[in-house]
A and B are shown apart, each in its own frame.
Chain A
Amino acid sequence: MSQAPLAERASAREAPHPERRGLPAGVPVRWASLREALHAEWTKLRTLSSTGWLLLGVIAVTVVVSASAAAATRCPSGVACPVDTTKLSLTGIEAGQAVVAILAVLAISGEYSTGMIRTTLTAMPRRAGVLAAKATILTGLVLAGGTVAVAGSLLAGRLILPGHGFTPARGFPLLSLAEGPVLRAAAGSVLYLVLIALLSLGTAAAVRDSGTAIGVILGLLYLFPIVAQVVNPHWYRHLQQIGPMTAGLAIQATTGLRSLPVSPWAGLGVLAAWAAAALLAGGLLLRLRDA
Chain B
Amino acid sequence: MTASTVTQYRPAQRPGRDGFAQLLRAEWTKFRTVRAWVIGLVIAVLVMIGVGLFGASAGGSSCQAVSGGPVRTGGACAPTFPAGPGGEPVTDSFYFVRQPLAGNGSITVRISSLTGLLPPANPGPVATDTRPGLVPWAKAGIIIKESTRPGSAYAAMMVTADHGVRLQNDFTGDTKGQPGAVTTTSPRWLRLTRSGDTVTGFDSADGTHWTQVGTVHLSGLATTVQAGLFATSPEYSVISQNFGGGGGGSILPSQATAVFDHVGRSGTWPASAWSGGYIGAAGGSGIGKYHQASGRFTVTGSGDIAPIVAGSGNSGDPGKTITDHLVGTFAGLIAVIVVATLFITAEYRRDLIRTTLTATPRRGRVLAAKAIVISSVTFVAGLVAAAAGVIIGAQVSHARGSLVFPVSWLTEVRVIAGTAALVAVAAVLALALGTVLRRSAAAVTIVIVAIVLPYILGVASILPVGASEWLLRITPAAAFAIQQAAVQYPQVNALYTPTSGYFPLAPWAGLAVLCGYAALALILATIMLRRRDV
Q: Knowing A72-B464, A211-B440, A218-B334, say if A102 contacts B58 (CB, 8 Å).
A: no
Which A residues are in CB contact (< 8 Å) with B54? 227, 231
Contact indicator B453/A94 (Cβ below 8 Å): yes
Chain A residues numbered 84-101 whose CB sits less than 8 Å from any CB in chain B: 84, 87-88, 91, 94-95, 98-99, 101
B12 contacts partner chain A, Cβ-Cβ < 8 Å: no
Q: Knowing A91-B461, A102-B441, A106-B441, say if A82 contacts B456 (CB, 8 Å).
A: no
Chain A, residue nearest B330 (CB): A226
Contact indicator A226/B456 (Cβ below 8 Å): yes
Contact indicator B460/A211 (Cβ below 8 Å): no
From A123-131, A180-188, A232-240, give the one contacting chain B: A232-240
Contact indicator A231/B55 (Cβ below 8 Å): yes
A111 contacts partner chain B, Cβ-Cβ < 8 Å: no
From B198-206, B238-246, B280-288, B512-520, give the one contacting chain A: B238-246
Give the size range of B's interface with the partner: 35 or more
How distant is the Cα of A49 from the Cα of B54 in the complex, in angstroms? 43
The one of A76, A99, A101, A232 that contacts B242, using a Cβ cutoff of 8 Å: A76
Chain B residues numbered 238-264 whose CB sits less than 8 Å from any CB in chain A: 240, 242-243, 246
Against B, the Cβ 8 Å flags (1 = close, 0 = not) of A2-28 are 000000000000000000000000000
Chain B residues numbered 215-259 whose CB sits less than 8 Å from any CB in chain A: 240, 242-243, 246
Contact indicator B240/A219 (Cβ below 8 Å): no
**Max count, chain A CB within 10 A of own CB: residue among B58, B243, B246, B459:** B58
The main secondary structure of chain B at its interface with chain A is helix
Q: Knowing A74-B464, A223-B331, A234-B65, say if A101 contacts B445 (CB, 8 Å).
A: yes
**Max count, chain B CB within 10 A of own CB: residue among A72, A74, A227, A230:** A230
Chain B residues numbered 132-176 whose CB sits less than 8 Å from any CB in chain A: none
The main secondary structure of chain A at its interface with chain B is helix
Contact indicator B327/A230 (Cβ below 8 Å): yes
Contact indicator B62/A215 (Cβ below 8 Å): no
A225 contacts partner chain B, Cβ-Cβ < 8 Å: yes
Contact indicator A102/B453 (Cβ below 8 Å): no
Q: Knowing A230-B324, A232-B62, say if A225 contacts B456 (CB, 8 Å).
A: yes
Contact indicator B441/A226 (Cβ below 8 Å): no
Against A, the Cβ 8 Å flags (1 = close, 0 = not) of B45-83 are 000000100110011111001000000000000000000
Minimum C-beta distance from A92 to chain B (A): 10
B121 contacts partner chain A, Cβ-Cβ < 8 Å: no
Contact indicator B445/A209 (Cβ below 8 Å): no
The one of B439, B453, B467 that contacts A222, using a Cβ cutoff of 8 Å: B453
Contact indicator B59/A231 (Cβ below 8 Å): yes
Task: Please count how many residues in chain A sit with their CB below 8 Å of the partner chain's CB atoms.
Answer: 47
Against A, the Cβ 8 Å flags (1 = close, 0 = not) of B340-382 are 0110010001000000000000000000000000000000000
Which A residues are in CB contact (< 8 Å) with B456? 94, 222, 225-226
How distant is the Cα of A95 from the Cα of B477 in the complex, in angstroms? 14
- On B, residues with C-beta under 8 Å from A are 40, 51, 54-55, 58-62, 65, 240, 242-243, 246, 320, 324, 327, 330-331, 334-335, 337-338, 341-342, 345, 349, 439-445, 448-449, 452-453, 455-457, 459-464, 466-467, 470, 499
Smallest CB-CB A-B distances: 9 pairs: A211-B440, A72-B467, A215-B338, A210-B441, A235-B58, A231-B58, A230-B324, A230-B55, A219-B334
29 A-B interface contacts by CB (under 8 A): A72-B463, A72-B466, A72-B467, A79-B240, A81-B242, A82-B243, A82-B246, A98-B448, A98-B453, A101-B445, A102-B442, A102-B445, A106-B441, A209-B342, A209-B440, A210-B439, A210-B440, A210-B444, A211-B444, A212-B40, A214-B445, A218-B444, A218-B452, A222-B330, A222-B334, A222-B452, A225-B460, A231-B59, A232-B59
